[in-house]
Amino acid sequence: MSDFNIMEDKLSNAQIAWRAAQDIEDGSYVNLGIGFPEMIAKFQPEGRDVTYHTENGVLGFGKAPAEGEEDWDLINAGKKAITLNPGASFFHHADSFSMVRGGHLDLAVLGAYQVAQNGDLANWRVGSKGVPAVGGAMDLVHGAKRVAVVTDHVTKDGGPKLVESCTFPLTGVGCVTRVYTSLAVIDIEGGKFILREKLPGLSMEALQAVTGATLHTEGDVLDLIVPQDL
């Protein structure tokens, strides 16, 4: 057995975001969910031309402005100030969600509380307490050609986030196609988790032990290698 420690040796959010960014294709239209998924844009590989969509009606936004340079009529769905890239456009909310549901986006990347082996996603509330808020999450899981999730592999308590079936309220049914976690890259196909990549020091058994449903393999499982200095 290796001396791999899951809580210490797992990838940071930045490293997960970096790995997810490597799969963003040149020429694609992409929506990154509020919070952690937004970090992916920072790691977009050089030479790829990617157009980012945000639900509140902007296509082609760029980096955040310098402090003091914000124009608060120019924000993203996370209500953060943004800038525009050449070729950007504005549109109203119905057009924006036509882009989402109408199959016009190539990729949507979201966070998760739980992902089930059939692709069900739970990412909008964990129980019935407090003020519920859904935003655009239930729309974003439909329509994009690929719906990916970035997440820690386990909860703060070490429990599985990849499960047989979600126990938290669902955001969408059978919608996730790929999960980038702090330990592995996993596809969802035919109602199964298919392991594609795992951290090199981590054994199959140890990974399975922190996963709430069976991990299947098809051919080689590649090493999940990311830069250490992110």
Partner 1 sequence: MDKTISTPAEAVADIPDGAQVMIGGFGGSGAPIELIHALIDRFRATGSPKNITVINNNAGNGYIGIAAMIKAGMVKKMICSFPRSSNAEAFNEKFLAGEIELELVPQGTLAERIRAAGAGIPAFYTPTSFGTELAEGKPTEEFDGKMYVREGWLKADFALIKGQMGDTVGNMTYRMAGRNFNPLMAMAAAKTIAQVSELGEPGSIDPQQVITPGIFVDAIVEVAQPQQEEVLVRTGVVY
**Can you give the binding site for partner 1, defined by CB under 8 A?**
55-58, 71-75, 77, 79, 90-94, 96-97, 100-101, 120, 130-139, 142-143, 169-173
Nearest to partner 1 of 69, 72 (CB atom):
72
Q: Is residue 8 among the annotated active site residues?
A: no
CA distance 230 to 218: 30
Selecting among 8, 25, 38, 55, the annotated active-site residue is 55
SS3 188: strand
Least distance from C-beta 4 to partner 1, angstroms?
37
Least distance from C-beta 213 to partner 1, angstroms?
18
Q: What is the largest CA-CA distance in the chain?
A: 56
Selection from 28, 52, 31 nearest residue 139 by Cα: 31
Nearest to partner 1 of 4, 90 (CB atom):
90
Nearest to partner 1 of 102, 227 (CB atom):
102
Least distance from C-beta 139 to partner 1, angstroms?
3
Nearest to partner 1 of 170, 186 (CB atom):
170
Q: Where are the alpha helices (DSSP H) in the chain?
A: 6-9, 13-22, 93-101, 137-140, 204-209
Nearest to partner 1 of 73, 229 (CB atom):
73
CA distance 78 to 84: 16
Selection from 40, 31, 35, 34 nearest residue 61 by Cα: 31
Give the list of residues 6+ apart from residue 163 with CB closer than 8 angstroms, or none: 114, 115, 116, 117, 212, 213
SS3 208: helix
Least distance from C-beta 126 to partner 1, angstroms?
13
CB 61 within 8 A of CB 82: yes
CA distance 137 to 176: 12
Least distance from C-beta 2 to partner 1, angstroms?
40
Selection from 218, 206, 118 nearest residue 162 by Cα: 118
Q: Catalytic residue numbers?
A: 55
